[in-house]
Amino acid sequence: MNKMDKLTKEAKHGGVPPKNRKQVLLRLGKYLLKEARTILLALLLTLISNVLSLIGPSLAGRAIDFFGEGAGHVDFPNVFKTISLMILLYIISSFFAYLLALLMINISQKVVFRMRKDVFEKLTELPVGYFDRHQTGDIISRITYDIDTINTSLSNDIIQIFTSIITVIGSLIMMLLISPSLVLIFGLTIPLSILFTRFMSRKTRPLFRERSKKLGELNGFVEEIISGQKVIKAYHQEDVMIKRFDEKNDQAVEAFYNAEYYSSTVGPSVNFINNFSLSLVSIFGAILYFKGALSIGNVSSFVLYSRKFSGPINEFANIISELQSALAAAERVFRVLDENVEPLDDKDAVDLSNVEVRGEVVMKGLKFGYDPSKIIIDQLDLVAKPGDLVAIVGPTGAGKTTLINLLMRFYDPNEGCICIDGHDIKKVTRASLRKSFAMVLQDTWLFQGSIFDNIAYGKPDATLEDVMEAAKAAKIHSFITHLPHGYETELNEEGLNISQGQKQLLTIARAMLLDSKMLILDEATSNVDTRTERQIQDAMRKLMSGKTSFVIAHRLSTIQNADVILVIDQGKIVEKGTHEELLKLGGLYSEMYHSQFQSLIS
């Protein structure tokens, strides 16, 4: 097995099995058909431009024949007329070609816009599990680099293909009119070109697929490194990250090299075959001229048409690599579009926005594992009464955040059920279920926009007074008013022009603004100092009155006022009670609390 066969085999068996090439082309065709009228106009321009261009060699041959057999027989008036007409036709042809290029750019931009829009909308419909399984950088690579690759192919290669088809057919007709016997030469060379191009196409297609895959992996790694720069510098791991990047970069470069190297052999090889056919045409054309079967002008025209005939075949061989790259990119894009979205709600699903939500949450016999063979939560039971403040504590990996994922129905349990006010959440619309909760996560998320927009994110109809009231409750109003533009201050990407603690307070204010009967706080005060935390606890206690609240906390001092504290260990509730009751019990909670207390003293 040679090196190329080995690389092709490895690429074929790496990652997700490739889709059928015809299916990918048909799906790309569906996007193009939405611009059918514009494409028909493009075809008309292609036809006109190439037909005018094809007249040129015939006029060139006629001009040569006007020179006659000697200087005394030159028909200069007809020579000048013929050359002038040829130049005019070439100018008009070039003008239509220019219009065609603009038209195809417009078509490709519309197709790419629609495709990118479809991918983004698809991403919003995918379950959380998809993003848990895929790197952010790889997803970004698909919606940017891969679609840009398709755009390049649509705007350039399709014009080339249209032009090639018309040029090949037109040149063949003109050559048959001049000398059918000379056309027989191409009966040998053209099949050689086609067979070689098909062979190399099959060999290189998996290599281009591997190239896109490795670039996605590299982008994913770079995204992680950029977002974790502070941690990398804090632990002085720059050299380690550089080494890992070099490994990823080497893999990407090697994949690029393999794809481009083997595809680059196609053009020169086909060009050699075409030049060989041109040599044969010149030899046999000269023989026919000496026999008197063809004029020197006809021989010249035939040679020009043979170059036009062979040129598109060579050009197609040169763009085959771009087409392979575009098909590999399209496969990755369509793979996202083919992902399963969250299942549709049942037809008779309850819409919680149409009923009065009290906030009673009951969990019965919950059993769940992200991998069914590795159960995280096993036979968990819980009853939260309306207005209860339920604190969830336990060791790392005990299943606390997983419980929240199930409650929000980011995942469905393997066994058991979760009921809200007696309604199984599997029979409740997902949109109304999630709107029933206000949520603050440990990982804060702010978007580029004003502070007002960020706080009012979950309640678009909120007034400035509503936002200010929530900000005051979250103890962030004073900070905001001291900013140059107050609530209209623009946050940059990820809110990097404010501190982590201030970001946390803004997300808490956002949750407080929602008029929901249930609240989820996942380490919501982890980035806030102790003094501010106490102030927030008092404010949150007041605002959470009448709301069923689930609080995940590692600092046990923050949940002493909880109505009930659930201690989860290995997916089961091992202890349950108030702060005082659990301390008297002397179990896991007491051990965790005293260990934190001792660490604070020391």
Q: Stretch 160-189: mean pLDDT, rounded?
A: 80
Which pair of tokens denotes residue 449?
Answer: 């926009």
515, 540, 571 - which closes a domain: 515
Beta bridge partners of 572: 569
Residues 34 and 170 in one domain: yes
Residues contacting 96, CB < 8 A, separation 6+: 45, 48, 49, 52
Q: Stretch 531-559: mean pLDDT, rounded?
A: 73
Q: What pTM, to 2 d.p., does this model score? A: 0.68
- Structure confidence at residue 317 (pLDDT): 61
Most confidently predicted of 284-293, 335-344, 500-509: 335-344
Q: Is 576 helix (H, G, I), strand (E, B) or coil?
A: strand
CB 543 within 8 A of CB 383: no
Residue 523 carries which side chain, given as an amino acid letter? Answer: E
> For residue 548, is it within any domain?
no
CB 410 within 8 A of CB 343: no
What span, in angstroms and rounded, lies between the C-alpha atoms of 48 and 53?
9
Which pair of tokens denotes residue 404?
Answer: 């929240």
- Structure confidence at residue 17 (pLDDT): 39
> For residue 418, is it within any domain?
no
Q: Is 420 helix (H, G, I), strand (E, B) or coil?
A: strand
Q: Stretch 537-560: mean pLDDT, rounded?
A: 74
- Does residue 520 or residue 11 have the better pLDDT? 520
- pLDDT tens-place string over residues 436-490: 888 887 777 787 788 998 888 888 888 999 999 888 888 889 889 988 889 998 8
Angle between helices 266-290 and 186-227 (to 10 degrees): 160
Residue corresponding to tokens 């094809």: 54
Which pair of tokens denotes residue 361?
Answer: 């949450």
Number of folded domains that form the chain:
2
Under the banding of pLDDT at 50, 70 and 90, the label for residue 47 is confident
> For residue 90, is it within any domain?
yes
H and E: helices and strands count for the chain: 23, 12
Which pair of tokens denotes residue 540?
Answer: 């949150």
Where residue 151 sits, what CATH number does that domain have? 1.20.1560.10
- Structure confidence at residue 276 (pLDDT): 77
322, 337, 352 - which closes a domain: 337
For 186, the domain range is 22-337
Residues 452 and 322 in one domain: no
CB 437 within 8 A of CB 408: yes
Q: Stretch 319-348: mean pLDDT, rounded?
A: 83
- The H-assigned helical ranges of 340-484 are 400-407, 430-435, 451-455, 464-473, 477-481
Residue 103 carries which side chain, given as an amino acid letter? Answer: L
- pLDDT tens-place string over residues 271-303: 777 777 777 777 877 777 777 777 777 777 877
- Structure confidence at residue 12 (pLDDT): 46
Which pair of tokens denotes residue 268?
Answer: 């020169």
- pLDDT tens-place string over residues 210-265: 877 787 788 778 877 776 776 677 666 778 888 888 888 888 888 888 877 777 77
Burial 281-293 (b: 16+ CB within 10 A, else e): beebbeebbeeee
Residue corresponding to tokens 């196609």: 266
305, 337, 369 - which closes a domain: 337
DSSP code at position 353: G
> For residue 392, is it within any domain?
no
Residues 229 and 86 in one domain: yes
> For residue 253, is it within any domain?
yes
Residues 324 and 456 in one domain: no
- Structure confidence at residue 11 (pLDDT): 47
CB 547 within 8 A of CB 563: no
Q: Is 396 helix (H, G, I), strand (E, B) or coil?
A: coil
Kind of pairing, strands 437-440 and 389-393? unpaired
CB 79 within 8 A of CB 66: yes
Beta bridge partners of 449: 491
Residue 495 predicted with pLDDT over 70: no
CB 166 within 8 A of CB 51: yes
Q: What is the DSSP string of 501-567?
A: HHHHHHHHHHHHHS--SEEEEESTTTTS-HHHHHHHHHHHHHHTTTSEEEEE-SSGGGGTT-SEEEE
What's the alpha-carbon Rg for the chain, to the nearest Å?
35
> For residue 140, is it within any domain?
yes
- Structure confidence at residue 601 (pLDDT): 46
Residues 180 and 322 in one domain: yes
CB 158 within 8 A of CB 104: yes
> For residue 525, is it within any domain?
no
Kind of pairing, strands 518-522 and 548-552? parallel
Q: Stretch 411-420: mean pLDDT, rounded?
A: 90
The average confidence (pLDDT) of the chain is 79
Residue 9 predicted with pLDDT over 60: no
Residues 319 and 452 in one domain: no
Where residue 502 sits, what CATH number does that domain have? 3.40.50.300
Map 193-207 to HEC letters: HHHHHHHHHHHHHHH
Q: Stretch 135-150: mean pLDDT, rounded?
A: 84
- Structure confidence at residue 318 (pLDDT): 61
> For residue 496, is it within any domain?
yes
Torsion of CA 327, 332, 334, 339, to 10 degrees: 160
- Structure confidence at residue 547 (pLDDT): 82
- The H-assigned helical ranges of 292-369 are 296-337
